[in-house]
């Protein structure tokens, strides 16, 4: 298993290009199951989860042909309607194949993904939604079995709103008979990117970006070979901006829609950073110790849970006391115990963390236990004294393309050690 070795204390400065969003790419790749036509995608990130999705789709009958970040993807015919447990167990987003498999082939068997390090993460909304669309669903031997001749449009209400739940049901409803309305749908921009892609292929979807999405089912999706460019990864961009702030640096990220990070920019501004947003980029410049701020996560348009962990090290070095409240997942503070080992003063109570800023963090051997928690440890290591060795970097590689190369471009002293060699 790879590790990252970081010698902290370098002020990051410079500019980097943000990759395509993993959380938009995954459902868009899966949506290729809905028709036999070739889809052309650009800006597809080369990250662990996307590679796992290629494997899963490959089993189902999809062919992928990629050249850098450009991808030709096609599912001429479904080879099987059963997703293998070995792949589903490594990536929860595999649940996304459920809706498209039923919509295209009338049947799906997908193992229950189970819990993960950030919470129990049920999939009841995916299952209830498919039942509402007329599918027969049962759970047998740990797998969800779904059958439907043709799904029928209906009104579905989500509580709480689920990102992949909305995407799954939206993909299922695209080929259903009649109109489906999803109330309390997720408003994350990645859901809107999936909808935009489906609409290009002839789907009839309205209301994305609001909490009511209306889908008028069509018989088939069209052959549409014009490339779709995956939206920029707002979470990756935010991670580098926070890294710039914690090192009192000057970092610019290039991304087509800077407004995707309005929340984070407001938060960083409140810590004392100077933010300039231009068409196509965001620059963060920090020339003093950060001030404390309170962070409460929530579904879009609230502050994203996927940036909560990365804020924690910045607030650990801030002047004053900050309160971080995680409202989306029940166990998303696992990085805190590792940050404490680096000298952070953090107490937790349920899903709230009280962070009393300290003057310095110290390098230590630490272990990533999830994707964003791993990114938080890297951010902490950039500002820590001495050397930090971060193990289980594969968690980070699931969602960040060439993270150490980007950090080196910005002036960080970081290297990857392959396998078990220290
Ligand atoms: C997606 C993102 C993930 C992000 C999360 C929240 C992808 C591939 N992953 O995950 O990076 O952290 O959104 O923004 O896009 N819930 C239920 N029942 C369900 C489904 C969800 O109760 O059937 C609950 C969850 O436990 C959680 C909340 O709904 O408390 C939101 O989870 P959800 O939006 O579904 O997260 P994911 O789609 O898995």
- Domain-ending residue, one of 165, 186, 217: 217
Ligand 1, from 91, 128, 163: best to mutate by most atoms within 8 Å of Cβ? 163
- Residues 261-302: tens digit of each pLDDT: 999 999 999 999 999 998 899 999 999 999 999 999 999 999
Say whether both 240 and 161 belong to one domain. no
Could you give the CA distance from residue 331 to residue 346 in angstroms, rounded to a whole number?
A: 15
Render pLDDT for 250-260 as a digit per residue (tens, 0 to 9). Answer: 999 999 889 99
pLDDT tier, 422 (very low <50, low <70, confident <90, very high otherwise):
very low
Task: Supply the pLDDT for residue 420.
Answer: 61
Average pLDDT of the chain to the nearest whole number: 95
Residue 138 annotated as catalytic: no
- 86 plus 30 within the same structural domain: yes
Residue 81: inside a domain:
yes
pLDDT at 115 over 60: no
> Taking 70 as the threshold, does the pLDDT of residue 218 lie above it?
yes
d(CA 82, CA 75): 15
Q: Which pLDDT score, from 0 to 100, does residue 114 have?
A: 61
Best residue among 22, 53, 328 to mutate for probing ligand 1's pocket (most ligand atoms within 8 Å of CB) is 328
Asked if the model's pLDDT at residue 344 lies above 60, the reply is yes
The answer to whether the CB of 22 falls within 8 A of the CB of 49 is yes
Q: How far is CA 348 from CA 31, 271, 324, 345, 378, in A?
A: 40, 21, 9, 10, 21
Alpha helices in 201-307 (DSSP H): 234-246, 262-271
Report field, pTM of the whole predicted structure over 0.85: yes
* 14 CA to centre of ligand 1 in angstroms: 34
The CATH number of the domain holding residue 403 is: 3.65.10.10
State which of 96, 118, 122, 164 you would mutate to test the pocket of ligand 1, scoring each by most atoms of that ligand within 8 A of its C-beta: 164
169 in a structural domain: yes
Q: How far apart are CA 244 and CA 233, in angstroms?
A: 17
Q: Which residue is closest in CA terms to ligand 1's atom 17?
A: 122
Domain range enclosing 383: 3-19+232-417
The answer on 278 and 201 residing in a single domain is no
Q: Which two tokens stand for residue 157?
A: 């209400």
| Per-residue model confidence (pLDDT) at position 117 | 65
Atom index in ligand 1 nearest the CA of residue 92 equals 39
Q: Is residue 119 part of a domain?
A: yes
The DSSP output letter for 417 is: E
Q: What is the mean pLDDT of residues 216-239?
A: 94
239 in the same domain as 207 = no
Q: Is the backbone of residue 57 left (phi > 0), alpha (psi -120 to 50) or beta?
A: alpha
345-372 pLDDT, tens per residue?
999 999 999 999 999 999 999 999 999 9
Counting residues of the chain whose pLDDT is more than 90, the rounded percentage is 92
For 40-84, write each residue's pLDDT tens digit: 999 999 999 999 999 999 999 999 998 889 999 999 999 999 999
Instruction: Give which of 22, 64, 65, 62 is closest to 46, Cα–Cα.
Output: 22
176 and 251 share a domain? Answer: no
Mean pLDDT for 193-197 is: 97
Q: What is the mean pLDDT of residues 158-169?
A: 96
Whether 225 maps to a domain, the answer reads no
Tokens of residue 123, six digits: 């999939």
Which among 201, 220, 200, 191 is positioned nearest to 103, based on CA atoms?
220
pLDDT over 50 (residue 190): yes
The total number of structural domains that make up the chain: 2
Whole-number Å distance, alpha carbon 368 to ligand 1 midpoint, is: 20
Indicate if 118 and 101 belong to the same structural domain: yes
Ligand 1 mean position, distance from CA 402 (Å): 25
Quick one: which of 180, 165, 260, 175 has its CA closest to 212?
180
Is it the case that residue 116 has pLDDT exceeding 80? no
β-bridge pairing 274-278 and 281-285: antiparallel
Ligand 1 contacts (CB < 6 A) are 23, 26, 92-93, 119, 121-126, 160, 162-165, 186, 190, 305-306, 328-329
Q: Does residue 237 form part of some domain?
A: yes
Question: Residue 94 above 60 pLDDT?
Answer: yes
**pLDDT single digits (tens) 99-109:** 999 999 999 99
213 alpha-carbon distance from chain centroid:
21
Note whether 357 and 268 are same-domain residues. Answer: yes
Three-class secondary structure assignment of 254-320: ECCCHHHHHHHHHHHHHHCCEEEEECCEEEEECCCCCECCCEEECCCCCECHHHHHHHHHHHHCCEC
Q: Which of 39, 116, 138, 208 is catalytic?
A: 116
DSSP 3-state of 189: helix
**304: in domain:** yes
């Amino acid at each position: 298993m790879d590790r990252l070795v970081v010698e902290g204390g370098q002020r990051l400065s410079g500019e980097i290009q943000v990759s395509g969003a993993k959380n938009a790419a995954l459902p868009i790749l899966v949506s290729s199951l809905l028709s036999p036509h070739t889809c052309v995608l650009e800006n597809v990130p080369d990250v662990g989860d996307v590679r796992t999705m290629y494997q899963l789709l490959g089993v189902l009958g999809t062919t992928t042909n990629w050249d850098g970040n450009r991808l030709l993807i096609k599912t001429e015919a479904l080879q099987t309607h059963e997703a293998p447990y070995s792949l589903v167990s490594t990536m929860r987003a595999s649940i996304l194949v459920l809706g498209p498999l039923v919509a295209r082939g009338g049947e799906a068997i997908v193992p229950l993904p189970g819990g993960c390090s950030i919470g129990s993460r049920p999939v009841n909304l995916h299952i209830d939604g498919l039942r509402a669309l007329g599918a027969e669903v049962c759970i047998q031997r740990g797998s969800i079995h779904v059958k439907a001749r043709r799904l029928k449009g209906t009104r579905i209400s989500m509580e709480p709103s689920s990102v992949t739940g909305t995407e799954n049901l939206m993909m299922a409803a695209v080929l259903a008979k009649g109109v489906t309305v999803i109330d309390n749908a997720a408003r994350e921009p990645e859901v809107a990117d999936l909808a935009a892609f489906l609409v290009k292929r002839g789907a009839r979807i309205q209301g994305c970006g609001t909490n009511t999405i209306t889908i008028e089912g069509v018989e088939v999706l069209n052959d549409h070979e014009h490339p779709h460019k995956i939206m920029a990864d707002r979470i990756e961009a935010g991670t580098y901006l926070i890294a710039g702030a914690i090192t009192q640096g000057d970092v610019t990220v290039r991304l087509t829609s800077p407004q995707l990070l309005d929340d984070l920019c407001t938060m960083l501004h409140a810590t004392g950073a100077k933010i300039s947003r231009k068409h196509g980029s965001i620059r963060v410049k920090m020339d003093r110790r950060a001030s404390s701020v309170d962070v409460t996560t929530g579904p879009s348009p609230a502050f994203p849970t996927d940036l909560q962990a990365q804020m924690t090290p910045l607030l650990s070095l801030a002047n004053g006391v900050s309160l971080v409240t995680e409202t989306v997942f029940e166990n998303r503070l696992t990085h805190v115990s590792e940050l404490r080992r680096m000298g952070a003063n953090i107490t937790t109570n349920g899903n709230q963390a009280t962070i009393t800023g300290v003057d310095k963090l110290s390098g230590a051997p630490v272990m990533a236990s999830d994707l964003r928690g791993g990114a938080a440890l890297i951010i902490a290591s950039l500002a820590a004294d001495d050397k930090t060795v971060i193990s289980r970097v594969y968690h980070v590689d699931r969602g960040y393309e060439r993270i150490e190369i980007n950090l080196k471009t910005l002036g960080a002293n970081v290297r990857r050690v392959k396998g078990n060699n220290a």
